[in-house]
Chain A
Amino acid sequence: DTGVSQNPRHKITKRGQNVTFRCDPISEHNRLYWYRQTLGQGPEFLTYFQNEAQLEKSRLLSDRFSAERPKGSFSTLEIQRTEQGDSAMYLCASSVFRGGPKETQYFGPGTRLLVL
């Protein structure tokens, strides 16, 4: 029984470079979420998918950010032309959504991005 996995765990890049992160959710989880967490703060919602459909994007997600979930399985989050302000922990979570008030999200270990 594997949990949510994220790769890479750490990424150091230079300003202006593109980076891509991958999230593998728990098998058969139909929802997948991306959050961003900066030091000393709680996670902030970025976007989420139900199966392969991207249902919502936060205003935090500028045009430089794009996320996909082809075939409703793994997801990728790409940041183009990285800026120092993009430095953060990027967290992925998955869940089984059947409607109702009891959806529990399971988080991966995160990808820590440092933009120099």
Chain B
Amino acid sequence: SQQGEEDPQALSIQEGENATMNCSYKTSINNLQWYRQNSGRGLVHLILIRSNEREKHSGRLRVTLDTSKKSSSLLITASRAADTASYFCATDAGYGKLTFGQGTILTVHP
């Protein structure tokens, strides 16, 4: 079963704008990870944030984690058409297996 929900389910923006996606989960976690999936393809790992971290950056990506609210957000700054994809959050409760959300479909218009 899915761990939680992602919000919004779909997001449509113009190139150069920022995109923010949110993820909520239900159980305690070891870490939370964000993945990108282009249509019909495998998942690409973007960033991992541990449960004792609150914010992490990687290039144009910024991830926050609030364990008290059991939520995370992914911010993509200065979006590009190539960022068009589905984005998934996944939680690791410490056993290795990942529990994914339902994903946010991001469309960036040139």
* Residue positions of A touching B, CB distance < 8 A: 4, 31, 33, 35, 40-45, 48, 56, 89, 91, 93, 95, 97, 101-110, 112
Q: In the assembly, what is the distance between CA of A41 and CA of B41, in Å? A: 13
* Residue positions of B touching A, CB distance < 8 A: 1-2, 30-31, 33, 35, 40-45, 48, 50-52, 88, 90, 92, 94-103
Contact A105/B94 with A43-B43, A91-B43 known, Cβ cut-off 8 Å: no
Task: Name the CB-closest residue of B to A59.
Answer: B1
Task: Name the CB-closest residue of A to B99.
Answer: A45
Contact A56 B97 (CB under 8 A): yes
Contact B102 A41 (CB under 8 A): yes
Q: Which residues of A contact B100 (CB under 8 A)?
A: 42-44
Question: Separation in Å of the A3 CB from the closest CB of chain B?
Answer: 9
Q: In the assembly, what is the distance between CA of A109 and CA of B42, in Å? A: 4
Q: Which residues of B contact A101 (CB under 8 A)?
A: 30-31, 50-52, 92, 94
Q: In the assembly, what is the distance between CA of A109 and CA of B39, in Å? A: 11
Question: Separation in Å of the A55 CB from the closest CB of chain B?
Answer: 8
Q: Which residues of B contact A48 (CB under 8 A)?
A: 96-97
